[in-house]
Structure 1
């Protein structure tokens, strides 16, 4: 249970201490709204020191940018309420759009720049002449909170990102071995599928954690180079395991592997299940000897078996590389003891997919929500409408990256209402009895320690965050006690109404959901496959595959919405590699085989470009290309195996082709 986890208690205590430090400094500096410093601590603090520093840096940058935008907009547009509304709405939407396209920690600065303008700008409409002093005060209060969170995270039992990354990598490798062993034995149970999804999703989690390494001093920054070499190899393991599973399944339907191949499979299985990892060097030597056999009279079964052996050799190299890099991460080693085996750079680059359409929809939804809330504020002449508009911008921004943000925003609004009630208890029953900062800290401790525990646990994060953030804001702590029940209720109601409007607008305008997003990833991959099949293409192979890999990682968390999406994406990924392999190998072919291969690739390119299901003509073209390829002392082996893999990816249920390698093609 999260309440008894030592690391959760440590985070909660540190966050509370940082909050009290921020509050004390804000009181000492005589800032107008010291409670903003306390609220900032609870939104900026993270369990890991590097993540806290990262969030602090980009939150500071976003705050400065947002404050500057508010100072520029409010005095010039305050006499035109609709123009000011549109300006802030469009600015917030633009910032959110840029944030969603940049999935690194840097994207947080863009989002902050957007809703900070709303936080500062909307409350200033009644006193536009004071906008600069108001923006300066809000910035100072937020910076005090940021600095306090970063300071406490660094000096009191700091938790480094490095060990967290190393631990995640070790678990990932363990899951990869289990998944590969399942594939070797044709295991397709629900457990195996859950392992598969975890492998795909965890690569994104590890990359996200590793992005914070650069914000920690000392040895953890040296780990970045190791992680950057490790991540592409981890990703490459996924389609290789999928190809092994496919080959083993096809061989089973054709009578099973040969005794020699079965022995090699058994040896790899023994390595995978061994308590300690042993190098696969000897196994690879034996696999290479088996692969070197002539393909002059190879049958379809033998081609599938050869494809399997090539995949096993690649996986052996990849897993050896992953183990070596994981050991270096765990030991914080500056360099590896031996060179890496698998040549990854020419096959895959780490590049992020940018879904501009989805980002535009999310940003337009945010802008629309702000406009709707402001129109209600203006038409109703609502005194606390600024608080509602401010919280609409915050709530619609915080969860915009989710495929369906509505449930999260609604939950945030529900627990914000609870936080307002908690703040009311403090304001009217507890604070009147407080006469010193020490007693204030003691009074706040039970609630805010609980909020910290809830924030520390991912499953309860959406409960703890609004409780900590809104309770601190709604209490409106000042150096001297002052309470107005009517103002408190109006302000609390406005915040909850603003979040509710954000949820309603999101539900209306973002009706797409995870299934729509999954379909967009699959369609984008078809465009990439058309590019991979283009025989006139030059370069860009690593970029194409990097984008397809990234879409696979993004698809894994939403695969529940479309049960066929993950298999389709994995087959597309394998098809992409096979298309590029075939395109590279075509120049070594004779004129006859090259014409057949080019005809097959051009037909596939046209069908991928149209986004339609593959036709029987494409299968016939692949079969003709397979028939035309003559394996003479390995000259055509790469192209032949690429076509074998491509046929299995694109037509997994088609019966085996009739292949006769009787001599050179005419």
Structure 2
């Protein structure tokens, strides 16, 4: 961990300035709990100005919804504690469930609405008549903190999202070029797949970052559309590279590339180096040469000819996707006008943006949240603990903040550990420092060291959780108000309640959520096989783009879990290749002769049966024989559909049966066609 950078110091200083402004205004207009405004500044702030504004808007919406929910539930159920607990726990669980299904920055609205009701409702159950005043004050304090964070972030050295997205795209493209050169070198194995999965994870991060573009100062209405257009193309690069690598290895086993194709591969490899990659003229020449080789006079008859044909088609995809990425990069950097049409790689009808929703996993997280709040409130009621509301409140917050993780326990435990440190620091200030503070200027001065440190910690991803815990728990425990007063018993009770609430969230998560990344990976793998079965069984092409789009989205979800699972993950890239190959095959079948179409249909039937057999089902050898017979039936056809059908059949053969020798020459006699039963 290196020293803080200039940008990190700047973020910390800006956040501290926004917190000081929020504190000043809170004291000036006599808000009851100014510390909530200060804590909100640290919760809402982000190094990027657009992301801060985005989070601010969603936080305001979530706060208002949660406040209304608390005002509705507490007065009406205050005399029925059990019903109130069930209502509050159900509300938090429902909001968390919706939030986990959303998977966009908008999800913050629902998560916040859930635990805001707990923040407002639980501390006021003994004074239900005051719920409206408390909800109003809390809402004012939170909105004030949000406004201060957004204003300072936007006015003082703003850092636009577009710059960050451009930097991430540049880094992604550099890594993608390195992966592409690995593929052209026929590299394979877990290391090569690991590099491609990291590209998928980076693609997901770029998508999340770009979702804040619309909130950038000045607006970039065309750029979010460009990111939405390029993102599926970026993901499509991964199965394309895998197919190129496999194709080159297969060709090496049958004598290697022909001279002209070898020259194209070498030129493409050279063009992907940093010193050549921006040469658009060479790229155009490469694409023209590839097209000429794909459609030569005559028909490919040998196995090597067929392999070269499919390799060239994937090389054409690579150059098209790379060209589209360069165009978007130029538009993001302001060096070219954003293009509304004319992308080289045609994604329409191939894949559309589609989210994978794991309702089962979201339901488990919601049930854990419900159980955590219910258990905490049960202890509160049975023990008649005065600060039990604080414990329940913090249990709801901690359980919600980390619910999206496969295993939230380590994060909640870390949050609890640093909450203990925050309580100790707060005690030092409450009993040793603040009694000597008598004006606003001195108060800001003594708060500067810890708050600037917290800002630095939050500016780094590896220490963000530490900063968040110290900031939220420390500021709330100090409890800055207009008139200083020391209540030792109250301070100790509040500190213990905070730690107990977060600790209980960790215990409940460890008891009820014993699964980790492996469980999520298995669910995603099973979902992929179900989708492949659906693709193979489809009667028409109307759902193809949706089905392949959701498989691309699952690749984003699988990628960051690879490291946690020790890279023991299913062949997600291979399954993607199979899905696209099946679509190519099914679309091309209508242009084939009746005999060839029957062969292709037999392959599709066997594929459907294989994918419905479960994740442990072995690929039947009869499927290999069926694919070989279909290849032999299609390869001499002169129809326009034949190359696409061959691309699908050969791609399936290489993906499902890696290392198999070349198929034997098979007769075309119709009487040899076997029923796929």
Who is 2:646 aligned against?
640
Who is 1:466 aligned against?
469
Who is 1:659 aligned against?
665
Who is 1:244 aligned against?
244
Alignment partners' CA distance in 2, 1:662 and 1:268: 38
Who is 1:77 aligned against?
77
- Whether the aligned pair in 2 keeps the contact of 1:294 and 1:633 (CA below 8 Å) is no
Moved over 6 A (4+): 661-666
Who is 2:511 aligned against?
508
SS in structure 1 opposite 2:220? helix
- Whether the aligned pair in 2 keeps the contact of 1:297 and 1:661 (CA below 8 Å) is no
SS in structure 1 opposite 2:560? helix
Give a deviation string over 1:492-539, Cα, whole Å, max 9, x none. Answer: 010011000001111111111000001111111111101111141341
Which of 625, 649, 654 is equivalent to 2:655? 649
Shift of 1:450: 0.4
Shift of 1:317: 1.1
Alignment partners' CA distance in 2, 1:198 and 1:208: 15
Shift of 1:618: 2.4
Within a 5 Å distance, the mapping from 1:452-491 to structure 2 comes to 452-491=455-494
Who is 2:624 aligned against?
619
Structure 1 residues 450 and 665: CA distance shift in structure 2, 3 A:
farther
- Whether the aligned pair in 2 keeps the contact of 1:518 and 1:565 (CA below 8 Å) is no
- Whether the aligned pair in 2 keeps the contact of 1:294 and 1:634 (CA below 8 Å) is no
- Whether the aligned pair in 1 keeps the contact of 2:533 and 2:607 (CA below 8 Å) is yes
Alignment partners' CA distance in 2, 1:542 and 1:619: 27
Alignment partners' CA distance in 2, 1:665 and 1:550: 44
- Whether the aligned pair in 2 keeps the contact of 1:630 and 1:664 (CA below 8 Å) is no
Who is 1:606 aligned against?
609
Within a 5 Å distance, the mapping from 1:235-634 to structure 2 comes to 235-276=235-276, 277-279=278-280, 280-293=283-296, 296=299, 298-331=301-334, 333-336=336-339, 339-562=342-565, 566=569, 568-611=571-614, 612-634=617-639
Give a deviation string over 1:123-161, Cα, whole Å, max 9, x none. Answer: 011101111111111111111111111111111011100
2:49 is aligned with 1:13: no
- Whether the aligned pair in 2 keeps the contact of 1:161 and 1:210 (CA below 8 Å) is yes
Alignment partners' CA distance in 2, 1:413 and 1:149: 26
Shift of 1:337: 10
Within a 5 Å distance, the mapping from 1:136-147 to structure 2 comes to 136-147=136-147
Between 65-74 and 300-309, the greater mean CA deviation after superposition: 300-309
Between 629-638 and 245-254, the greater mean CA deviation after superposition: 629-638
Give a deviation string over 1:627-649, Cα, whole Å, max 9, x none. Answer: 32243225422112211001112
- Whether the aligned pair in 2 keeps the contact of 1:628 and 1:665 (CA below 8 Å) is no
2:104 is aligned with 1:104: yes
Structure 1 residues 617 and 338: CA distance shift in structure 2, 3 A:
closer
Alignment partners' CA distance in 1, 2:561 and 2:222: 33
- Whether the aligned pair in 2 keeps the contact of 1:533 and 1:602 (CA below 8 Å) is yes
- Whether the aligned pair in 2 keeps the contact of 1:522 and 1:569 (CA below 8 Å) is yes
Structure 1 residues 341 and 200: CA distance shift in structure 2, 3 A:
same
Structure 1 residues not aligned, in runs of 5+:
none
Between 615-624 and 578-587, the greater mean CA deviation after superposition: 615-624
Who is 2:233 aligned against?
233
Who is 1:149 aligned against?
149
Structure 1 residues 490 and 61: CA distance shift in structure 2, 3 A:
same
- Whether the aligned pair in 2 keeps the contact of 1:3 and 1:9 (CA below 8 Å) is no
Structure 1 residues 387 and 416: CA distance shift in structure 2, 3 A:
same
Alignment partners' CA distance in 2, 1:529 and 1:456: 42
Structure 1 residues 564 and 414: CA distance shift in structure 2, 3 A:
closer
Structure 1 residues 295 and 656: CA distance shift in structure 2, 3 A:
farther
Within a 5 Å distance, the mapping from 1:81-92 to structure 2 comes to 81-92=81-92
Give a deviation string over 1:2-30, Cα, whole Å, max 9, x none. Answer: 54300000100000011111111111121
Shift of 1:340: 2.3
2:173 is aligned with 1:173: yes
Structure 2 residues not aligned, in runs of 5+:
673-677
Between 43-52 and 257-266, the greater mean CA deviation after superposition: 257-266
Shift of 1:299: 2.6
Between 287-296 and 331-340, the greater mean CA deviation after superposition: 331-340
Alignment partners' CA distance in 2, 1:518 and 1:454: 31
Structure 1 residues 655 and 222: CA distance shift in structure 2, 3 A:
same
Structure 1 residues 104 and 446: CA distance shift in structure 2, 3 A:
same
Shift of 1:480: 1.3
Structure 1 residues 245 and 329: CA distance shift in structure 2, 3 A:
same
Who is 1:213 aligned against?
213
- Whether the aligned pair in 2 keeps the contact of 1:619 and 1:651 (CA below 8 Å) is yes
SS in structure 2 opposite 1:273? coil
Structure 1 residues 226 and 665: CA distance shift in structure 2, 3 A:
farther
Shift of 1:600: 1.0
Give a deviation string over 1:285-319, Cα, whole Å, max 9, x none. Answer: 21122222467452323222221111001111110
Alignment partners' CA distance in 2, 1:11 and 1:661: 72
Between 413-422 and 344-353, the greater mean CA deviation after superposition: 344-353
- Whether the aligned pair in 2 keeps the contact of 1:518 and 1:558 (CA below 8 Å) is yes
Alignment partners' CA distance in 1, 2:24 and 2:380: 35
* Residues paired across the two proteins, number: 666
Alignment partners' CA distance in 1, 2:232 and 2:253: 33
Shift of 1:605: 1.0
In the superposition, the TM-score normalised over structure 1's length comes to 0.97
- Whether the aligned pair in 2 keeps the contact of 1:388 and 1:495 (CA below 8 Å) is yes
Alignment partners' CA distance in 2, 1:579 and 1:624: 16
- Whether the aligned pair in 1 keeps the contact of 2:172 and 2:202 (CA below 8 Å) is yes
Alignment partners' CA distance in 1, 2:441 and 2:486: 20
Structure 1 residues 302 and 570: CA distance shift in structure 2, 3 A:
same
Shift of 1:665: 9.4
2:157 is aligned with 1:163: no
- Whether the aligned pair in 2 keeps the contact of 1:203 and 1:235 (CA below 8 Å) is yes
- Whether the aligned pair in 2 keeps the contact of 1:2 and 1:8 (CA below 8 Å) is no
Between 507-516 and 292-301, the greater mean CA deviation after superposition: 292-301
Shift of 1:610: 3.1
Give a deviation string over 1:147-202, Cα, whole Å, max 9, x none. Answer: 11111111101110001001111111111111000111123487645532321101
Between 336-345 and 466-475, the greater mean CA deviation after superposition: 336-345
Alignment partners' CA distance in 2, 1:295 and 1:571: 32
